[in-house]
């Protein structure tokens, strides 16, 4: 497999952790979009494309993001225990759409994307600069969500120090396809206690 093209969409607010979006072309025949370049504690790293997880409203059945407090369809109040958890018990707000399953693939994607990202930042300094990434992502990503989605996990992240002194952070690869997400088990409804005297007419004159 060969990455034959990388396109970068730099974000205007450079103070945010989200630095850019990008797309990669594999073997001149397959494109993966919506990869994110995020500034981590040890340098920039590439995050795979993902989608927000949803849950059904118990009243009307409409899908709502797990962060929603009210249903977007009927306006009903949503429960707070809708968080999806993986087999390790960690809360999940996002699910990867595509991701590598070995470290070699992860490092190859990381290398190509970060190199093109740095080159794109240099090209952006030119007065006639125009991004080749044609999609707009305004209002589609919240920085608060980014902090939660890419908070440090149990796995150790590798850091590579380049010759020029800059550091690049590499997220660990998946060891295999992820297990399905598990919704919290609903708790049984408690019934009110019945009167101890079950005789006919009991309690009428109490």
Q: CA–CA separation, 54 vs 66, rounded Å?
A: 5
Instruction: Report the 3 state secondary structure along 66-90.
Output: CCCCECCCCCCECCCCCCEECCCCC
Using the predicted structure, report yes or no on whether residue 39 has a pLDDT greater than 60: yes
pLDDT digits (tens, 9 = 90+) for 12-22: 876 678 899 99
pLDDT digits (tens, 9 = 90+) for 167-194: 555 555 554 545 444 444 445 555 555 5
What domains are there in the chain, each with its CATH number?
A: 3-50+99-170 (3.30.1120.40), 54-92 (no CATH)
Q: pLDDT at position 104, please?
A: 92
The model carries a pTM of 0.58
């Amino acid at each position: 497999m060969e990455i034959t093209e990388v396109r970068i969409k730099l974000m205007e607010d450079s103070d945010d952790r989200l630095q850019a979006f990008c797309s990669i072309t594999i073997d001149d025949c397959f494109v993966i979009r919506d990869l994110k370049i995020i500034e981590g504690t040890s340098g920039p790293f590439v995050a795979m494309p993902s989608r927000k997880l949803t849950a059904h409203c118990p009243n009307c059945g409409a899908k709502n993001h797990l962060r929603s407090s009210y249903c977007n369809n009927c306006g009903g109040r949503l429960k707070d225990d809708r968080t999806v958890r993986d087999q390790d018990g960690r809360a999940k707000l996002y699910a990867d759409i595509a991701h590598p399953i070995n470290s070699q693939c992860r490092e190859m994607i990381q290398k190509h994307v970060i190199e093109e990202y740095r080159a794109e930042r240099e090209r952006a300094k030119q007065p006639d600069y125009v991004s080749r990434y044609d999609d707009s992502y305004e209002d589609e990503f919240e920085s608060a969500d980014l902090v939660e989605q890419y908070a440090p996990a149990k796995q150790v992240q590798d850091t590579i120090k380049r010759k020029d002194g800059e550091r690049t952070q590499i997220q660990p690869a998946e060891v295999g396809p992820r297990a399905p997400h598990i919704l919290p088990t609903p708790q049984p409804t408690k019934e009110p206690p019945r009167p101890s005297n079950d005789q006919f007419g009991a309690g009428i004159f109490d």
